[in-house]
Amino acid sequence: MNESKVGILLISPDFLASDFINHNEIPKLLANVQEEGGKIVPIIVRHSRFPRIKNLSRFKATNSPSNPIAGLSESDQDKIFVRVAELIWDLMENE
């Protein structure tokens, strides 16, 4: 976590409610963004309060919070995962 350049966040109510995530992982990722120029890529898996959580919702989610992956067709899910893979590829090429 301390050296990660990209944080992929699978956003769900359980993820957002996790004490471990909130107290250990998110602070490290946010520090990495601030200090090292890391990137955070939220992927909305299920409906959640993500839009109201300011320290995370400032990062553009790969898919709209109103269209979580859990409610999409397999084809639309694939489109999102391809978009994430391309984003990561682009970020790694620019390193």
Q: Considering the entire predicted model, what is its pTM?
A: 0.88
Find, among 74, 73, 42, the residue nearest to 55 by Cα.
42
Q: Could you tell me which residues are beta bridge partners of residue 24?
A: none
Q: pLDDT at position 77, please?
A: 96
Spans in the chain with pLDDT lower than 70: 1-3, 95
User: Which H/E stretch holds residue 41?
Assistant: strand 39-44
Residue 43's φ and ψ, nearest 5 degrees, are -120, 120
